[in-house]
Amino acid sequence: MAQILVFEDETYKNFLPLTYPKPLCELACGGRRQRERFVEAFPQDDLAFLVREYLADAYREKTGCTVNTIERSEGALLLNSALLMQKEELNALKTRLSKGEALVKGDTVLAMHTDRRVAEKIADRATKGGKLIIDVARRHGAVREDNKLQLLRFPWDITQLHEEMMNRDIAQLPRRDYKQISSDVGTGPVLVHEDAAIERDVFIDTRKGGVLVDESAEVQFPTRIAGPSWIGRESIVFSALLREGSRVGPVCKVGGEMETSVLEEHSNKAHAGYLGHSYVGEWVNVGAMAVTSDLKNTYGTVRMEIDGNPTDSGATKLGAFIADHAKMSISTSIYAGKKIGVASHASGLINTDVPSFTIWTSHQGQQPHELFLDSALETQRRMAARRGVELTQAQERLMRHIFDTTRDERLRRGVKRGSLAL
């Protein structure tokens, strides 16, 4: 049988800084990460992920998956990690493509069934940043267009497709692990793991979709949850208004208001504030009363900077995109469509993108300063220790690599080196 190789192309650049510390298949749209859908669809022994070389050690350690290894002489079915598909749809691609055929959407390879020699060429490009994989497909196979398949191309695709994918993810869940309870209004499913806890008088609205409360999660009164929403394993919901499209955790703490947003693993938004049409990575802390804007005063579409170019998202509702290990101080206010880099500390009014490893504050006319790498690592050790987790050598090497990689970005934005005195 052909090996299943999930690859990443140049699209990851559109999602920076979210994708500095992780491949695109680690992003979540709906209730699950992209990787989780591929793992559910295919046997572990048949599946491998092709990621950028500098990510390989930490990614292998984190997921336990086969990474950057081609093992089958029979050839490979290559699948783009940005594909938004469920188990049955992914499996159908095995029979849809004959060897030597590729499905493309414009200049994007969606899937390709090929021999080992061509698979190795694509793997070489994928592990070096995904450059021009479409050229390999055109030279070595019959290319067919398919403009119907959904995939992630830009950050706003996550928020625009989030609720649809969450409803589909909830429909895929095995009912044997959950009890179904009645919602207060609506007919959508409310699935509660047998080890989860929901306090009395929590209000659940399923008119627009289902609600999942996963293993060892806790939902406290007074909370209102509107579906589709997904509360992950070991997460705690305090007094919160979780509107449609709230994806929490696993292992998160959330309070205040949240809508059509992702809060990734080990991140906190425990207090009052608003997170809307936004994406928050891992190990992030969002301080009390911090807010994201997701609507312009003009009610016009929101523009984002993508790979250095101002780009119209076409979306009127679009919030912030906050990378792993970032920290938002109390009362931080972030303009619509702005990005906060890896490990950066933001406070005050954020009306521009913040580079990685930057202390960015609008208080008292201070210039942005570079965050010392050792300080970022020590902060991460402290935060991880609070969750009983240790920072591994592979993770530390990854952070050091990202720090070096993003140095020019900080220089271009006028970030000063040296200590910041407030």
Question: What is the residue whose two structure tokens read 């749809």?
Answer: 89
Does residue 422 sit within a domain?
A: no
User: Per-residue pLDDT averaged across 150-164, rounded?
Assistant: 97
373 & 235 share domain: yes
Q: Are residues 247 and 140 in the same domain?
A: no
List phi, psi (to 5°) of 305.
-90, 120
Which of 145, 176, 209 is a domain's end point? 145
* Domain assignment of residue 224, given as a range: 155-412
- Same domain? 90 vs 9: yes
pLDDT at 343: 98
CB atoms within 10 A of CB 115: 16
Considering the domain boundaries, does residue 348 fall inside one? yes
How many domains are contained in the chain? Answer: 2
C-alpha closest to that of 365 among 379, 348, 382: 348
CA distance 354 to 341: 6
Phi-psi bin for 263: left (phi > 0), alpha (psi -120 to 50), beta?
beta
Residue 72, pLDDT > 90, answer no
User: Domain check: are 295 and 351 in the same one?
Assistant: yes
Q: Please state the pTM of the whole predicted model.
A: 0.96
Q: pLDDT of 225-240, one tens digit each? A: 999 999 999 999 999 9
What are the tens digits of pLDDT across the range 322-381?
A: 999 999 999 999 999 999 999 999 999 999 999 999 999 876 667 899 999 999 999 999
Element (H, E) at 393: helix 393-405
Check whether residue 227 and residue 167 sit in a common domain: yes
- Look at 65-69, 71-75, 217-221 and tell me which has the smallest mean pLDDT: 71-75
pLDDT of the residue at 378: 97
Of 98, 123, 145, the last residue of a domain is 145
Examine the domain organization and report whether 187 and 331 are in the same domain: yes
pLDDT over 90 percentage in the chain: 88
343 to 121, 218, 237, 258, 378: CA distances (angstroms): 34, 28, 25, 22, 11
For the segment 275-291, what is each residue's pLDDT rounded down to a tens digit?
999 999 999 999 999 99
pLDDT (tens digit, 9 = 90+) per residue, 180-203? Answer: 999 999 999 999 999 999 999 999
| End-of-domain residue from the set 145, 169, 191 | 145
69 and 169 assigned to the same domain: no
Is the model's pLDDT at 422 over the cut of 70? Answer: no
Do 113 and 7 share a domain, yes or no?
yes
**Which DSSP string corresponds to 1-32?**
-PEEEEE--GGGGGGTTTTSSS-GGG-EETTE
409-421 mean pLDDT: 85
What residue type is assigned to position 50 of the chain? L
Q: How confident is the model at residue 131 (pLDDT cuts 50, 70, 90)?
A: confident
Residues 240 and 102 reside in one and the same domain: no
Residues 129 and 159 in one domain: no
Report CA dihedral (170, 50, 5, 31) to the nearest 10 degrees: 0
